[in-house]
């Protein structure tokens, strides 16, 4: 049997992002309230404070003393106490512009790499405040060549396969030892603030899979620990052609969708 000479040069560009519309899964309660004649912008229990103190050029928020600080939760509500707490929830997603090159691939060896760049040495990070939960969805097709041929997505979680007849592409979002790539999600400043994690199916070291539309990471929505802070995520990739895979330049621009719940 004569095999075609193949040049599989793959660039995985992580990560383009899309922020979806908000999903209503919990009620947000604000400190601002008003009637026809009065308005309360921030409720303060303490020795005093000022939501906005301004001069001609500068403005400041201030608080004097605080009897309690931290957060508390029940089944349906979260509350935050402290010197000054912002009332508006938000979710921010930032990418590091990391690029993974698989070079010239062959049908008996798995190519691999992690998208890591920036100060965090990660693929992307999520910063959130007062979000009760979020999920990260992967939306891109596997690496595709100029003719529109895509590598087969690894639909079943497992270790990389080196059989020459198997074509596969997979990812995970944890630290691996075989191959030695990747990193676990890192919550900043620690796990008592942010609570991001890799999703089931993408959280097993040395095991990979891929499905378009899959959730690959999420906040845990832990009672008493709402998603506040930053979580740094690193995506690891594996890819291998089979002996029948069409030759070409395979490329993937990895689109991720962040879906928050407030």
Per-residue pLDDT of the chain (262 residues; tens, 9 = 90+): 444 444 444 433 333 333 333 333 333 444 556 677 766 655 555 556 665 677 777 777 666 655 555 566 666 665 656 555 556 677 888 888 888 888 888 899 999 999 999 999 999 999 887 666 889 999 999 999 999 999 999 999 999 999 999 999 999 999 999 999 999 999 988 887 788 999 999 999 999 999 999 999 998 766 655 567 899 999 999 999 999 999 888 989 899 998 887 6
Does 230 share its domain with 100? yes
List, edge to edge, every strand of the sheet that includes 90-95.
Answer: 90-95, 124-131, 227-233, 186-188
Does 159 share its domain with 205? yes
pTM for the full predicted model: 0.73
Q: Is the peptide bond before 15 cis (omega within 30 degrees of 0)?
A: yes
pLDDT at residue 55 in the model: 78
- Rounded to whole angstroms, the Cα distance separating 98 from 121 reads 9
Q: Quote the tokens at residue 7.
A: 């040049």
Give, as one character, the DSSP assignment of residue 192. Answer: T
pLDDT at residue 166 in the model: 95
H or E element that contains 84 = none
Quick check: is 143 in a domain?
yes
Does 94 share its domain with 198? yes
Does 108 share its domain with 162? yes
Distances (CA, A) of 211 to 46, 101, 195: 52, 21, 24
DSSP-assigned states of every residue in 26-49: S----S-EE-SS-EE-----SS-E
- Rounded to whole angstroms, the Cα distance separating 235 from 175 reads 9
Residues whose CB falls within 8 Å of the CB of residue 8, separated by 6 or more in sequence, listed in order: 102, 104, 105, 106, 241, 245, 247, 248, 249, 250
User: Where does a domain end: 46, 63, 81?
Assistant: 81
pLDDT at residue 85 in the model: 56
Quick check: is 1 in a domain?
no
Q: Quote the tokens at residue 43.
A: 């409720």
Does 50 share its domain with 131? no
Q: How many residues does the chain have?
A: 262
- Rounded to whole angstroms, the Cα distance separating 255 from 16 reads 5
Q: Is the peptide bond before 106 cis (omega within 30 degrees of 0)?
A: no
Range of the domain at 57: 33-81
């Amino acid at each position: 049997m004569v095999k075609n000479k193949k040049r599989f040069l793959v660039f995985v560009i992580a990560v383009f992002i899309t922020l979806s519309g908000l999903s209503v899964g919990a009620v947000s309660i604000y400190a601002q309230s008003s009637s026809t004649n009065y308005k309360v912008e921030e409720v303060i229990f303490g020795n005093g404070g000022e939501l906005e103190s301004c001069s001609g050029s500068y403005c400041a928020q201030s608080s004097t003393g605080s009897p309690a600080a931290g957060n508390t939760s029940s089944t349906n509500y979260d509350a935050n106490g402290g010197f000054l707490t912002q009332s508006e929830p938000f979710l921010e997603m930032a990418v590091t512009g990391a690029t993974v090159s698989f070079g010239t691939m062959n049908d008996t060896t798995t190519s691999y790499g992690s998208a890591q760049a920036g100060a965090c040495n990660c693929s992307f990070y999520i910063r959130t405040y007062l979000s009760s939960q979020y999920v990260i969805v992967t939306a891109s097709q596997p690496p595709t060549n100029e003719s529109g041929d895509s590598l087969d997505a690894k639909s079943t979680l497992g270790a990389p396969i080196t059989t020459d007849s198997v074509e596969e592409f997979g990812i995970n979002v944890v630290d691996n030892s075989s191959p030695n790539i990747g990193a676990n999600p890192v919550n900043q400043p620690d796990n008592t603030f942010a609570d991001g994690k890799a999703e089931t199916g993408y959280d097993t070291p040395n095991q990979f899979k891929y499905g378009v539309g899959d959730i690959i990471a999420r906040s845990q929505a832990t009672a008493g620990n709402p998603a506040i802070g930053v979580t740094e995520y690193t995506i690891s990739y594996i890819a291998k052609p089979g002996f029948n895979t069409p030759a070409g330049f395979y490329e993937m621009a990895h689109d991720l969708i962040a879906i928050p719940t407030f």
